[in-house]
Structure 1
């Protein structure tokens, strides 16, 4: 029996039937606990029950996309607001899979907000872009003047383990982060499969995995920044960490998604206690 989740079968079955999915989450600090107080959705986006592996101070929410993959034309949106003093940790149960476009553009729009003294962490697992995917990604973060944020994005181009090369399609990304109404980070770009940025030293330099972690919080001590820069990376990988006042950016180019996950985890283990004032507790879902 053929695999019904294979992109070719999905594309044939749903060539004119795109999913529009939206998930809205709200978190609030009540009775000494960060509580999930709003959970509304339309289309195939869900969140499991709130989890508290760190105690009541941090609410963990696992966002699930039941179809298991995004086909051309699908549009996903997540809107999460963390109220004053609360702490929300958002992740996913596995890699996101972006299948071929079939003439339609897929998209994802993430909007994250954190109120006074609040913290939001956006740490999904990696995204795999199949050959011929055509995707537009927007990520917006709005923080109060004393709110905190950590977000990570791991992009994998093609299925290198299967010998697939990302030589058709495109990925457009836009990221903006504001704190206290001031713009801290703005980045946008378009990566055309097979285009010059794939090989250019100003782009991916021939690598197929790109990972970025951005943290906003307390000023970072020089010793922590030095430790970040000492994280071991594979031979041939490109890795760096930049500190700009209340913002730290960690970046990696390599050819191995497992290595990227390991390195971004090592960075998070250093940055979370240093910038958020809370020990890093690795979610169990990351080990399954």
Structure 2
């Protein structure tokens, strides 16, 4: 399979990493193949995996440094060709360290062509106190393509008694389908700020999670099943369907509970949206 690589080492004047990963997937007589894989800097993808058969290609995106420091710039793009199905995940939590006066940035671009499906299911992101981070995600779908994506954000390290007292996180997500903007969301959380305490914000909680799905509308029975996913744990949880976009949100203080809820939603949603059972994501349990 085609692959190219270059390494952008930090210079003496700029200790930040600038990393890029570009992936391409294509259908080959019923098998989704990883046909493009290029990188610059510390972003990699392990070999393509097929835990649920040849139709779906799983790719594990790896950031070898293990954490993101102030000024690091990460760019991930994946294009899924007609009829192909790709699932992207990560081997562990992403750790965003204190800013040191610089903003860290991650840009994710996902594209699914005719009849294709793309799933973006990274493990949680942990933001250390004083982190300054900008997260941007763009999803572009053709009319009959489908998408499922999940993000879990943890503010501070609760197990270590650390809270998010200073720093800033900005997040922007846009989804286009059939040339139309179907989802646009942006927000900013300032460490120690009012939005962390406000009932209109995090209401004093430290963990929030959002799952977005785009494709065919779900019947009432399927929506009821998704809402049941959050009944067995603490925290706040809700599911809303709006004109082909489904949103499931969790708000609480336990990252493990957020993971369980989001995985339960995904496992109940996937058979309806993609007509495919959801296997256990083994990498999430390693």
Name the TM-score, length of structure 1 as normaliser.
0.93
In structure 2, runs of 5+ residues without a counterpart are 1-11
Residue 233 of structure 1 and its aligned partner are, at CA, apart by 4.6
SS at structure 1 position matched to 2:195? helix
Aligned to 1:151: 149
Q: 1:240 to 1:123 in 2, by over 3 A?
A: same
Which of residues 253, 271, 279 is equivalent to 1:255? 253
Paired residues for 1:79-94 under 5 Å: 79-94=77-92
Which of residues 57, 68, 71 is equivalent to 1:70? 68
* 1:200 and 2:198 matched: yes
CA distance in 2 between partners of 1:100 and 1:111 (Å): 25
Structure 1, 36-45 or 24-33: larger mean CA deviation: 24-33
SS at structure 1 position matched to 2:225? helix
Check conservation: 1:216, 1:246, Cα contact below 8 A. Answer: yes
CA distance in 1 between partners of 2:242 and 2:275 (Å): 18
The number of residue pairs the alignment matches comes to 274
SS at structure 2 position matched to 1:55? coil
- Measured against aligned partners, the alpha-carbon deviations of 1:121-159 in whole angstroms (never above 9, x if no partner) come to 000000000000000010000000000000000000000
Deviation above 6 Å: which 4+ runs of structure 1? none
Which of residues 266, 269, 278 is equivalent to 1:280? 278
Paired residues for 1:163-242 under 5 Å: 163-231=161-229, 232-235=231-234, 237-242=235-240
* 1:17 and 2:9 matched: no
In structure 1, runs of 5+ residues without a counterpart are 1-13
CA distance in 2 between partners of 1:44 and 1:265 (Å): 28
Check conservation: 1:234, 1:254, Cα contact below 8 A. Answer: no
- Measured against aligned partners, the alpha-carbon deviations of 1:214-233 in whole angstroms (never above 9, x if no partner) come to 01112101011112112225
CA distance in 2 between partners of 1:218 and 1:201 (Å): 32
- Measured against aligned partners, the alpha-carbon deviations of 1:47-77 in whole angstroms (never above 9, x if no partner) come to 0000001111000000000000000000000
Which of residues 28, 34, 38 is equivalent to 1:40? 38
Name the TM-score, length of structure 2 as normaliser.
0.94
Residue 287 of structure 1 and its aligned partner are, at CA, apart by 1.6
Residue 32 of structure 1 and its aligned partner are, at CA, apart by 1.8
